[in-house]
Amino acid sequence: MLPLRPAGSLCLSDAELDALNKQIMETVQTEGRVFLTATLIRGRFALRACILHYGTSEADIGVLVATVREVGARLAA
């Protein structure tokens, strides 16, 4: 799971932050660079990446994190 509170989202309520994270997931999926799913943790929406391929590298994880941050910043602006 990836805890995320994008820049510009500090004043959002829990419900607004959950909605933003859902929008981040949907946008990331639509853009197709990486794939995220989600789960609920104590009733809160959390982004989730499941990495299974043996060939996944640190660089791949870096792309995932950078993509989520970039989309999050764009949507929170």
Residue 15, phi then psi, degrees to nearest 5 = -65, -40
4 domain residue, yes or no: no
3 domain residue, yes or no: no
Domain that holds residue 34: 14-76
CATH number of residue 63's parent domain: 3.90.1150.10
- Cα distances (Å, whole numbers) of residue 3 to 45, 55, 58: 10, 25, 19
Question: Which of 7-16, 36-45, 46-55, 65-74 is predicted least confidently?
Answer: 7-16
pLDDT of the residue at 8: 60
What pLDDT, in 10s, does the model give residues 3-41?
566 656 667 788 988 999 999 999 999 999 999 999 999
